[in-house]
Amino acid sequence: MAEAQNGSAGPQAVPAASARPPATPEGVALAYGSLVLMALLPIFFGALRSVSCAKSKNSSEMPETITSRDAARFPIVASCTLLGLYLFFKIFSQEYINLLLSMYFFVLGILALSHTISPMMNRFFPANFPNKQYQLLFTQGSGESKEEIVNYEFDTKDLVCLALSSVVGVWYLLRKHWIANNLFGLAFSLNGVELLHLNNVSTGCILLGGLFIYDVFWVFGTNVMVTVAKSFEAPIKLVFPQDLLEKGLEADNFAMLGLGDIVIPGIFIALLLRFDISLKKNTHTYFYTSFVAYIFGLGLTIFIMHIFKHAQPALLYLVPACIGFPLLVALAKGEVTEMFRFQLSGFMHASGSRFFPESQPSQHGPGPAWSYESSAEILPHTPRLTHFPTVSGSPASLADSMQQKQPCPRRRRQQSPSAM
């Protein structure tokens, strides 16, 4: 959800308080334009990185797969979480809750930012850099019942990235500065789009449709979402000051956008990119269509919010656009029937990982796949999403790898930078 608000940040769109002078038109335009640009960056680059992630042979860096069952339960789990936070803020001291949340997101933010900048930082290390290997291993039990809790391999380059990310983390923890908040927010968003994969387009429609209802209900139907957003101090949103031109970096009249409005449509757009590539037609029609649709939906959200000065659930505009535009393109190309009938297993995860080259005929005849699927049979090592990420879009593979109970040895990451 988008928001224009003075002072503290949150993921809703609310009118500016009368206690402060209104922002100038230039400041408002700069803030909204910056939010749109910041929202597009993690979606675009996260989608590109999701292709390499899906092809990865590294078991610990495999994406989390969201199935249709997960997608159907997601709005219910999100609603319970939101209501639980609302009750916590009503019953307990907001100060102590935000202290715990700050520490939690401090750790996650450092891991997410480190993972985000690692491919870029690898380009700056000289060839003769003394790169030593390390392993962090925790086990539980003994003998045949012994199982790995953590098995994480890393090197000196990873430690450098972690140290740089820790500087940003300390800055955020001490100052809660909006730039540090945005660095963490962008890292969360990019990791979410890269590492959370929908298993087919139908699942994406279920997820977006369910969260469409969730967003509309909790924004228009109650004050729960707005209350939590105003009370929740964590990098779960991107913010940009509307009074930057007047106050500089110390500005505090923020416009903001929740990370959920980036990650949720973003994973659907990333799925369409992988679908385009799997068709082997050297075109990214559905990806670019959905990307333009996201820009249109987000722009419409900001316009409606600015006109009516009221909280706006961004998914109310983003979901119809991101689903409707690709569907119209498919209709224009005469591929809708084939899309719903034909099923294509997306990416090969085996020795010689590759994309499926051609569409194989089914009993209904050949054609492109609206029900494009990253099949469990084709991706046997891809872990199924058994619990849901926070609304911030935190990096699932890094956080969840610290909690998985099954053995999951980590092989060395490729030294060449991953696709950005």
Give 292-327 pLDDT, tens digit per residue.
999 999 999 999 988 888 778 899 999 999 999 999
Q: Which domain holds residue 54?
A: 25-129+171-352
Tell me how many domains the chain contains.
1
- Mean pLDDT computed over 123-133: 86
Of the chain, the end-to-end C-alpha distance in Å amounts to 26
Lowest mean pLDDT among 116-120, 194-198, 332-336, 353-357: 353-357
Percent of the chain residues topping a pLDDT of 90: 36
Look up 276 and say whether it is catalytic.
Answer: no
User: Taking the mean position of all CA atoms in its chain, how far away is CA 152?
Assistant: 23
Please tell me the number of Cα atoms within 13 Å of 360 on its side-chain side.
6
Under 8 Å between Cβ of 44 and 272: no
User: Which residues are paired to 384 by β-bridges?
Assistant: 65
Residue 310 in any domain: the answer is yes
Least confident of 14-28, 103-117, 180-194, 270-284: 14-28
Residue 237 belongs to some domain of the structure: yes
| 97 in any annotated domain | yes
- 215 catalytic per annotation: yes
Kindly name the residue from 70, 215, 276, 400 that is annotated as catalytic.
215
Rg (CA), the chain: 22
Question: What are the DSSP calls for 68-126, one per residue?
Answer: HHHHHHHHHHHHHHHHHHHHHHHHS-HHHHHHHHHHHHHHHHHHHHHHHHHHHHTTTS-
Is the residue at 137 inside a domain? no
Mean pLDDT of 29-54: 92
Say whether 310 sits in a helix, a strand or coil. Answer: coil
Judged against a pLDDT cut of 90, whether residue 23 lies above it is answered with no
Whether residue 220 lies inside any domain: the answer is yes
- CA separation, residue 86 to residues 11, 176, 226, 307, 332 (Å): 14, 22, 10, 28, 45
Residue 337 falls within a domain, yes or no?
Answer: yes
**pTM to 2 decimal places:** 0.77
Within a domain: 223: yes
CB neighbours of residue 26 within 10 Å: 12
Flag whether 414 is in a domain. no
Q: Note the pLDDT tens digit of each residue in 319-377.
A: 999 999 999 998 888 777 655 543 434 444 333 333 333 334 444 444 444 455 554 43
Tell me which of 70, 158, 243, 261 is the catalytic residue. 261
* Chain position carrying tokens 């419409």: 300
